[in-house]
Amino acid sequence: WRVPPSETTHKVRETVSTHHSRINASLPIMLRRACLMLRRSSIASRSLSVVTPANRTKESIEFRILDDPPKEMREKVIDTVAKGLCLEPTSQHLAARAGYADCTVLYPVWKKFFTPFMDELCNNNMSVVAVDVEKDEEIAGVSAVRDYAKRFPRESDAALITSVLAPLHWLLIKKADAYFVQQNPSMHLAGVPYLGTSAGMWILTNEAYKKQGLTHALCDLSLAQMKVEGFERAVCNATNDHFKKAMEKHGFEVAVARGYKNFMFEGRHPFAGMEEPHTHFSLMEKKLGTSTSKLDFDHKPIDKWTPEDVEMFVLSRGESVCWKEYAETLRKNHVDGQTLAVYDEVDELVEDGYGIRKNHARVLLKAIRRAREREPLLFSPI
């Protein structure tokens, strides 16, 4: 015997059934999100020492260091940066002054300018990209970082000098020169060994991913990598007021500034009429803390390094206690620069009895190769 189901019972059953259906329908989405989060954390732990994406950032965004990416990824990065630079207020202004109705006409110029930087950006352990894994690995944003004391590649110089962007190129170069002279006015600019002291950063985001906190997340991640690489200062060119305010939130301060209105190039004022609030070009700086980059090893060829120089060089590779152990071991074994410079393979470093782990040997070998290739250069920003 059972009580006939009442109207209330029917409603309860209907509600429970509907609830179960919703749960079953949402399970694939929930599982996908869980897998995505696990995948993101796994990739981030392998590639980034610090992961601090803003709360507004989409769950499908992954942050990756540009470490020898495939050709397709390189092209996507170049495309994103070139499009972003076209939309910079200075680019838009110069395009309009030249009579172009659409600033995207400068896309080929910016692409030609940025492409030669890619080899360096993909191997310096500081440049970071934000990738949307749910949209065929679309690039959401790029933080392009390089040694600020290095000059532009010739192809990049030529791309800007021969275009309507020549005034902007001149402004960038002059501000970089002023920045280094300001640090040490007693020395001739071209002879000052500033390599490895200041890292220049440009951050560009895809228009479809604006106002999601990407600029702040990319900035935090690149700053962390700059410290790992031993840089003392981070530098950025704020060509517009929005970017300037964003960088101020990260502790950047104006080091050199110039009003657009009074800037002259070839007897004219190319930036006259720049609209508010973009009235000044600001070269901004953030001190990153204590660094070993001022020590002797950073100012002389690797084959002239003493065992003490090698010790400090190894110490500057990271914060792990392992680096201290490796550095002490190398010094005790009287390893000088000439000895260190002969290493070309990871296995050689591992097998020679210094106790260096294979993953750390890769990092050290990469730094050794950079030290072998390093030479004083003129100063220009990214």
Which has more confidence, 198 or 145? 145
The model's pLDDT over 210-238, given as tens digits with 9 standing for 90+, comes to 888 899 999 999 998 888 888 888 999 99
Average pLDDT, the chain: 77
CA–CA dist 256, 235 (Å, integer): 11
The model's pLDDT over 244-267, given as tens digits with 9 standing for 90+, comes to 999 998 999 988 888 888 888 888
Q: For position 163, what pLDDT does the model report?
A: 93
Give yes or no for a contact between 323 and 359, defined as CB atoms under 8 angstroms apart. no
Q: For position 57, what pLDDT does the model report?
A: 59
40 CB-near residues (< 8 Å, 6+ apart): 62, 133
C-alpha atoms less than 13 angstroms from C-alpha of 326 in its C-beta half-sphere? 26
CA–CA dist 319, 228 (Å, integer): 7
> For residue 11, what pLDDT band results from cuts at 50, 70 and 90?
very low
Q: What percent of the chain has pLDDT over 70?
A: 74
Q: Which two tokens stand for residue 125?
A: 């352990």
Domain 61-287 class? alpha beta
Q: For position 326, what pLDDT does the model report?
A: 92
Q: For position 304, what pLDDT does the model report?
A: 83
CA–CA dist 116, 128 (Å, integer): 17
Which has more confidence, 33 or 238? 238
Q: What percent of the chain has pLDDT over 90?
A: 32
Residue 297 CB neighbours (<10 A): 23
381 CB-near residues (< 8 Å, 6+ apart): 148, 172, 173, 175, 176, 200, 235, 237, 283
> SS in 3 state form for 84-114?
HHHCCHHHHHHHHHCCCCCHHHHHHHHHHHH
Domain boundaries, the chain: 61-287, 296-373
Looking up tokens 């896309």 gives: 107
At the second CATH level, the architecture of 296-373 is Orthogonal Bundle (1.10)
Which has more confidence, 363 or 378? 363
Give me Rg for the CA atoms of the chain: 26
Which has more confidence, 136 or 344? 344
What DSSP line would sit under 138-161, residue for residue?
EEEEEEEEEETTSPPPHHHHHHHH
> For residue 296, what pLDDT band results from cuts at 50, 70 and 90?
low
